[in-house]
Amino acid sequence: MIPFNKPYMNGKELYYIAQAHANGHLSGDGPFTKRCNAWLEAQTGTRKAMLTHSGTAALEMAAILADIQPGDEVIMPSFTFVSTANAVVLRGGVPVFVDIRPDTLNLDETQIEAAITPRTKAILPVHYAGVGCAMETIMAIAARHNLIVIEDAAHGILARYGGRELGAIGHLGCLSFHETKNVISGEGGALLVNDERFVQRAEIIREKGTNRSAFFRGEVDKYTWVDLGSSYLPNELTAAFLWAQMEEAYSITERRLAIWQTYHDAFAVLEVAGLVRRPVIPDGVIHNAHMYYLLLPDLETRTAFIDGLKAAGIHTVFHYVPLHSAPAGRRYSRTCGDLPVTTSVSERLVRLPLWIGVEEYQEQIIDAVIAQVQALAGG
Ligand SMILES: *Cc1c(COP(=O)(O)O)cnc(C)c1O
């Protein structure tokens, strides 16, 4: 079976973990965490990068920083991972789901203003598949209505919109280094604090609500409980692993882009024949090949397609179950409109294997996909 995902490791992870072992500093914010933070700051231009133990943790920190209070509303897509919404619900906030664009599958910026109410506190766009949302429009809407923008850039490492790195455009940005992402540490993430206003409080929230970071810099003579907080730091072994990946982040992205392009070129014939729709990358957007997906005609075709490829020894998957239709979504959130694009896309989207090393199977995958799509169209 050709797996859907296989985490890429380059070997240097073990070398750096051995160094962390020798350093004897195992808890958070040791030398490897500092290196990773500095790399993220240099790479993205963010004011302050802070590694977290997951992308979910970064989103939770962002929701605390945005001061989401019970009843406050946050506009986001329903077509996303649960953590985007959970971060808001954990503060007592209400996710307000807006439909996605049919081309990029990102939050439809033309529908955001209709969803704004006096309770709206923030906009939480998700850069689906590492393809940037229309950030200049979203930032302009936020400025007009005095809202905070939190980017869910879990897919977005090294991708750009209008020349700027995803996650470093809004007030706050959240990255993930989960093993299914491009640059990984098993579990892991980072908060990018782009707005100076939030830097000091972010440090405190990440350190269990204490001013421990200021204490270590010698700015206060004792550290104490000063605010809300939790434990959001990764340990140094995780950061050591991640550092080996960051050193290779450019070559990882290049290899993924080559795989992505091979799929894209091969499936042009299917799109021309009207049998599938391929991903759309708008002008001014530099993506990072986080994923390759196809949109099939309907749910029945997709189910048969996934089964057919499985029989051919190829594992493909779909996502997301729209959050507004999920049991917890119905309890904790509301929608703005009917979300027809979200519903349609969630029934028709299939993701193909995209991992470093899949190149040697790619011809086999492409042949099987084309044969399956044509057979389903003919039948
Ligand atoms: C992966 C992901 C997250 C959460 O990241 P973790 O590191 O797994 O906690 C959040 N949002 C989106 C869109 C994701 O794909």
Q: Rounded to an integer, what distance in angstroms lies between the CA atom of residue 32 and that of residue 242? A: 8
Nearest atom (ligand 1) to Cα of 56: 9
Q: What is the pTM for the complete model shown?
A: 0.98
- 253 pLDDT band (50/70/90 cuts)? very high
**3-state secondary structure (DSSP) of residue 127:** coil
Q: Is the CB of 178 under 6 A from ligand 1?
A: yes
Residue 378 confidence (pLDDT): 87
With 0-12 / 13-18 / 19 or more C-beta atoms within 10 angstroms meaning exposed / middle / buried, residue 131 is buried
Peptide bond into 320 cis (omega under 30): yes
Q: Is the CB of 53 under 6 A from ligand 1?
A: no
Using the predicted structure, report yes or no on whether residue 80 has a pLDDT greater than 90.
yes
Residue 379 confidence (pLDDT): 60
Residue 155 confidence (pLDDT): 98
- 24 pLDDT band (50/70/90 cuts)? very high
Mean pLDDT on 153-172: 97
Nearest atom (ligand 1) to Cα of 178: 7
**Closest listed residue to residue 191, CA positions, set 50, 60, 46:** 50
Amino acid at residue number 128? Y
Q: Chain-wide mean pLDDT for the chain?
A: 97
Q: Rounded to an integer, what distance in angstroms lies between the CA atom of residue 283 and that of residue 242? A: 31
Going by alpha carbons, the residue nearest to atom 5 of ligand 1 is: 55
**3-state secondary structure (DSSP) of residue 38:** helix
Measured in degrees and rounded to the nearest 5, phi and psi for residue 349 equal -85, 135
Domains of the chain, earliest start first: 13-247 (3.40.640.10), 249-376 (3.90.1150.10)
Pocket probe mutation, ligand 1, options 59, 104, 178, max atoms within 8 Å of Cβ: 178
358 Cα: distance to centroid of ligand 1 (angstroms):
23
Residue 99 per-residue DSSP state: P
Mean pLDDT on 200-204: 97
Q: What share of the chain is helix, strand, coil (3-state, %, to 5)?
A: 45, 15, 40
Q: Kindly write down the DSSP assignment for every residue of 156-194, as one continuous string.
A: -TT-EETTEETTSSSSEEEEE--TTSSS--SS-EEEEE-
Place of tokens 């079976």: 1
Q: Is the CB of 155 under 6 A from ligand 1?
A: yes
With b for 16 or more beta-carbon neighbours within 10 A and e for fewer, the 275-293 pattern comes to bbbbbebeeebbbbbbbbb
**3-state secondary structure (DSSP) of residue 326:** coil
Mean pLDDT on 51-57: 98
Q: What share of the chain in percent tops pLDDT 70?
A: 100
Using the predicted structure, report yes or no on whether residue 146 has a pLDDT greater than 70.
yes
Nearest atom (ligand 1) to Cα of 54: 7
Distances (CA, A) of 119 to 101, 128, 228, 333: 24, 26, 22, 13
Mean pLDDT on 176-186: 98
Mean pLDDT on 91-102: 98
Give me the sign of the Cα torsion angle 233, 239, 243, 246. negative
- 355 pLDDT band (50/70/90 cuts)? very high
Instruction: Compute the chain's Rg from CA coordinates.
Output: 21
Pocket probe mutation, ligand 1, options 54, 74, 81, max atoms within 8 Å of Cβ: 81
144 Cα: distance to centroid of ligand 1 (angstroms):
29
Q: Is the CB of 154 under 6 A from ligand 1?
A: yes
Q: Which two tokens stand for residue 95?
A: 């996710």
54 Cα: distance to centroid of ligand 1 (angstroms):
8
Query: pLDDT tens for residues 260-315?
Result: 999 999 999 999 999 999 999 999 899 999 999 999 999 999 999 999 999 999 99
- 10 pLDDT band (50/70/90 cuts)? very high
Mean pLDDT on 138-166: 98
